[in-house]
Amino acid sequence: MQIGILEADTLQADIREKYGSYADMFKQLFLSVDNRLTFKVYKVIEGRYPENRVECDAYVISGSKFSAYDNEPWILQLQKYIMQLHQHKIKLIGICFGHQIIAQALGGAVEKSKNGWGAGNMTSHIEHTKPWMSQPETQFSLLVSHQDQVISLPEQAERIAGSNFCENASFQIANHILTFQGHPEFSPDYLKYLVNKRRDILGDEKYYRAIDSLCQQSDAQLVAQWIIGFSCMQSVGNQ
């Protein structure tokens, strides 16, 4: 299976040297689950897209420092591409910004959360167990770093998981779209870098809570297994 990574941000050279690009992070995550996977990277932030939408078996939209509601030409172009993939039932995975912009492109709404920044290792509770889940679970934990949230889902979407902090932490549309607010691809070291960078914004209470939470194991590999399992399913009907 070939996965297309739609990069929605460009990290600075010194950060890429230490942690890798967002595409590198996704490659490392998915290969840790299935080393047969191959990848193509498209910097959508620079307007680069597949020549043919079936070049890859599934596409993943990365996180970004931008907001889904920013009036940037590349964001508007990405929304149109999301609608095309949705229309043709092409497998599409959204992570953080990707989760948010998919929701917005298909009729949902995104805004800055009244709960402020989410940072650290956070748990979401599963509302619906799905066939693509490799094992039955009641919750999962992922590293998060966001202040925007999906406040309403597209009409055709089904919420998969949420929490008191983030009501819409994961959703699915039919058999071709799956999204997560959290970051399975982030390492604890990279999340710690982001938390330290935003310490003044977070305030001491959220900062220390986020740092302490990084001692707990996330379910990154489990979620990666889910994403791969979902991407292998036929895009017909509801599951």
- The string over 51-78, giving b where at least 16 C-beta atoms fall within 10 Å of a residue's C-beta and e elsewhere, is eeeeebebbbbbbbebbbeeeeebbeeb
Question: Pick the catalytic residue: 86, 146, 166, 185?
Answer: 185
Told to judge if 232 belongs to the known catalytic residues of this protein, a careful annotator would answer: no
7, 86, 96, 176: the catalytic one is: 96
Q: Hey, what are 78's tokens?
A: 């990405």
Q: Which residues of 26-40 are buried (b: 16+ CB within 10 A; e: fewer)?
A: bbebbeebeeebebe
Q: Which two tokens stand for residue 158?
A: 């089904």
Residue 183 annotated in active site:
yes
Respond yes or no: is residue 17 known to be catalytic: no
> Which tokens sit at 79?
């929304």
Cα 62 to Cα 6: distance, rounded to the nearest angstrom: 6
Task: Give catalytic residues, as residue numbers.
Answer: 96, 183, 185
